Structure 1
C-alpha cells in the first residue's frame, strides 16, 4: 500500500502558497502560472486555509465579486482537511470522497510539506493495480 510519503517522492517538493490578505487575482494568477488547481493559504508558517478554483467559481464568479478587490481570506476554505506523511493512499481517497474535495495539504511537524490532488491519488492506484497485474501475469506464465 502506497503512503503519502511515497507519493510525494515522485512530485516536485514545492508548495505554492498565498497570504490571506492577498488579492484573489494574484492567487488565480499563481495557480494559472503553475498549472495547479489550488494554493494553500499561509499566515506566516501557519496553514489558515486553502483556495481552489472551485472556491473562485462559486464565491467570485457566481456572486459577481471583483478578483482585484476581494481578499483570499474572504473566499478561502478555512476548515482544511490535511493528511500526514504516513497516511495511505486509500485513506486519502476516502477523505476526498467524503469531504468532496480535490486537494489535501500534507502536514509534518506542524509545517505544510506538500499538497496532493485527487489526480495524484488516482494515478497512484492505477500504477499499483498495473504492477499487481504484471506480477499476476508473470506468475501465470512461470507457473
Structure 2
C-alpha cells in the first residue's frame, strides 16, 4: 500500500485494544502490559477514551515520585484526553497529525470507544508518508 487515496487508518491499525478503567491500579495496568508484551494501555471509562497510560508514565509519574502503585489508579497518572482518530481517517492525515503532535501511537475510536491502535510504524509501513 502507498499513500494513495483509499488507504485509511482501519487498513493499517492494530485491531483490538488493551484497556483499563481509570480506577485500575498501576500494578494491574503494568501486569497487563507485561502479559501482552506492550508498552501502553488505553484508559477508558466505558463511554469514552479518557487517557493513555505508558510504562514510562508509571515509572516517571508514579514510581519515581514515590506513589504507591497498588493504591493509585491509572486515571491519575495517564496522559489525559489523548488525540484519537477515526478508523475512516485517511492514513496520510493520521500521519500528519502524529508528526504535528509528536506522538508515536494513537487510539482509534469509533462511537467514543477504542477499536484499535495505530502507530507511526504502521503508517510508515503502509506508505502513508509518500
Larger Cα-atom Rg: 1
- Given that 1:38 and 1:103 are in contact with CA atoms closer than 8 Å, whether structure 2 keeps it comes out as no
Number of equivalences: 125
Structure 1 alignment gaps of length 5 or more: 130-143
Match of 2:94 among 92, 95, 115: 92
2:12 matched to which residue of 1?
7
**Cα RMSD (Å) of the superposition?**
2.1
| Highest RCO, 1 vs 2 (Cα 8 Å, sep ≥ 6) | 2
In structure 2, C-alpha distance between the alignment counterparts of 1:107 and 1:84, rounded to whole Å: 5
Give the TM-score taking structure 1 as reference length: 0.75
For residue 69 of structure 1, report the CA deviation from its aligned partner: 2.1
Secondary structure at the counterpart of residue 125 of structure 1? coil
Compare the two structures and name the one with the higher helix fraction: 1
